[in-house]
């Protein structure tokens, strides 16, 4: 069950370069102008308006020449970014109630439809998930008609069956410390992907915790190195998907 760590983090400096749009009627952020490759970012509880996520989208749009979409997957709700550093605001935000309004049963059909819309418009589509968005990426990976690859960082709400059903290349960015992506679930991921008929990579990030890839502290050298490395690992995946290059079966540390 997601807890206080899902509401903590740090805001990054920068001004997003994209624009507001809609995707299947939902509000969304879009950046980039590729006609061939799209990236679908599925967010943590801070949602599509968080500047950190938009800055990451801008980075990928530029680095790999992709059009990047960040849809609102919470029906207009999200954790306010000030909650990252305000304990009282974190305390008053009822995450359990929020999740009851954003169950998998409610949000999965919308996420699935968003991926389908992008796949009808672009030759290559990669899904990226952080925290809550992680389980959704794994579910998308079960349908080769929807997605070409996924990259997931510190997933929450992930079930074993969702790991078992993947049919496209998978990249997992796993922090050493994670209340939600537990050691048992990490091991199950590793063992399951090792037997699966898909290309995959599992990348371990020592000394960092849940949320590092989207809300890491830029003033902390360890965290900064980790989220910058995560950006580069994901960029490498995008480039390989674009070039139709194969991924290696590997565990990287």
Q: Is 209 helix (H, G, I), strand (E, B) or coil?
A: strand
Is 4-252 a domain of CATH 1.10.10.10?
no
Q: What is the DSSP string of 177-203?
A: E-SSS-HHHHHHHHHHHHHSSS-EEEE
Q: Residue 242: is its pLDDT beyond 90?
A: no
CA distance between the termini of the chain: 27
The three-state secondary structure class of 71 is strand
Does 247 have pLDDT greater than 70? no
Distance from C-alpha of 133 to C-alpha of 172, rounded to nearest angstrom: 13
| Three-state SS at 104 | helix
pLDDT at position 194, please? 93
Check: CB of residue 211 under 8 Å from CB of residue 44. Answer: yes
Place of tokens 């995959």: 200
Instruction: For 135-152, write each residue's pLDDT tens digit.
Output: 999 999 999 999 999 999
Cβ contact 37:81 at 8 Å: no
pLDDT tens digits along 59-111: 999 999 999 999 999 999 998 888 888 888 888 888 889 999 999 999 999 99
Q: Among 82, 85, 11, which Cα is nearest to 52's?
A: 11
If you write DSSP's letter for every residue of 139-182 in order, what string do you get? HHTT-TTT-SEEEEES-SS--HHHHHT--S-EEEEEEEE-SSS-
Which pLDDT belongs to residue 92? 84
Angle at 233 between CA 230 and CA 239, to 5 degrees: 140
- 36: which 2 tokens? 């061939």
Distance CA 189, CA 187 (A): 5
Q: Please report where in the chains the tokens 């709700």 appear, as a residue.
A: 77
Least confident of 90-94, 99-103, 158-162, 163-167: 90-94
Do the strands 37-42 and 124-130 form a parallel or antiparallel pair, or are they unpaired? Answer: parallel
Checking if the pLDDT of 210 tops 90, the result is: yes
The region of weakest confidence among 12-26, 91-105, 146-160, 220-234 is 91-105
């Amino acid at each position: 069950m997601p807890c206080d760590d899902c509401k903590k983090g740090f805001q990054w400096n920068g001004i997003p370069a994209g624009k507001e749009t809609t995707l299947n009627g939902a509000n969304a952020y879009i950046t980039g102008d590729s006609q061939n490759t799209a990236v679908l970012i599925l967010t943590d509880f801070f949602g599509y308006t968080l500047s950190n996520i938009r800055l990451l989208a801008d980075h990928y749009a530029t680095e790999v020449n992709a059009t990047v979409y960040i849809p609102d997957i919470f029906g207009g709700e999200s954790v306010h970014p000030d909650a990252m550093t305000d304990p009282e605001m974190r305390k008053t935000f009822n995450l359990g109630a929020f999740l009851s309004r954003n169950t998998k049963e409610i949000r999965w059909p919308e996420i699935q439809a968003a991926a389908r819309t992008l796949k009808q418009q672009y030759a290559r589509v990669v899904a990226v998930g952080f925290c809550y968005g992680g389980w959704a990426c794994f579910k998308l990976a079960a349908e080769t008609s929807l997605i070409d690859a996924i990259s997931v960082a510190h997933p929450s709400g992930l079930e074993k069956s969702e790991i078992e059903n993947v049919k496209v290349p998978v990249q997992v960015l796993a922090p050493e410390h994670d209340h939600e992506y537990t050691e048992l679930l990490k091991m199950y991921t590793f063992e399951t992907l090792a037997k699966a008929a898909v290309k995959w990579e599992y990348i371990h990030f020592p000394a960092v915790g849940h949320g590092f890839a989207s809300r890491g502290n830029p003033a902390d050298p360890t965290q900064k190195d980790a989220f910058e490395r995560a950006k580069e690992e994901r960029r490498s995946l995008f480039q390989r998907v674009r070039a139709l290059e194969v991924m290696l079966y590997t565990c990287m540390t």
